[in-house]
Amino acid sequence: MALENCLQLSTSASVGTVAVKSHAHHLPPSKLALPSFRCIKRSVPALSSSVSPSFVSSPRRARYSSVVFQDVNDSSWKELVLESQVPVMVDFWAPWCGPCKLIAPVIDELAKEYTGKIAVYKLNTDEAPSIATQYNIRSIPTVLFFKNGERKESIIGAVPKSTLTDTIEKYLAS
């Protein structure tokens, strides 16, 4: 909630600043008092450094965790996803995508919780657009679930962990 408030203040602050600047020539400098939004200065940089995953090499290791994700791409898709003996969850993402950065820690937690029960992969849609096109990915983040090489379900957007957990449990039970 605090983050939303800061982001809303950021929007109002920039709009307010424009409005004040546009009328500033009518006011003497002593009457011009701009509001201070300390939460924006402190919260937004902290958000970008703590939420955005910075990946190193393949297999990729997220800075915020010890879980190793293996990237999947055009050359490894068939072997890792379609021929998997366990259910597979694939996170379609891109480095510039804000909601992708928000859901990344959730995917990380699920990979830890379901180690050995499901395979979790990440597919950068900028690096493997043909797979994204093949599976009709129109919005990211999108999480696809596969079982026995078949696409079973897709979840679009930064959803709560419970939504993904329920879907995983459904395919582990069947």
Tokens 């950021």 belong to 10
Q: Which of 72, 81, 88, 100 is catalytic?
A: 100
For the question of residue 6 being annotated catalytic, the response is no
Tokens of 115: 């180690």
Measured between alpha carbons, how far is 164 from 159 in angstroms, rounded to an integer? 8
| Structure letter (DSSP) for residue 63 | T
In the residue annotation, 100 being an active-site residue is answered as yes
Is the sign of the CA dihedral 1, 15, 159, 68 positive or negative? negative
Residue 140 in contact with residue 99, Cβ under 8 Å? yes
Task: State the catalytic residue, choosing from 72, 88, 89, 97.
Answer: 97
Q: Buried b vs exposed e over 85-115: b needs ≥16 C-beta within 10 Å?
A: eebbbbbbbeeebeebbebbbbbbebbeebe
Structure tokens at 64: 């915020």
Contact 141, 154 (CB under 8 A): no
Residues labelled catalytic? 97, 100
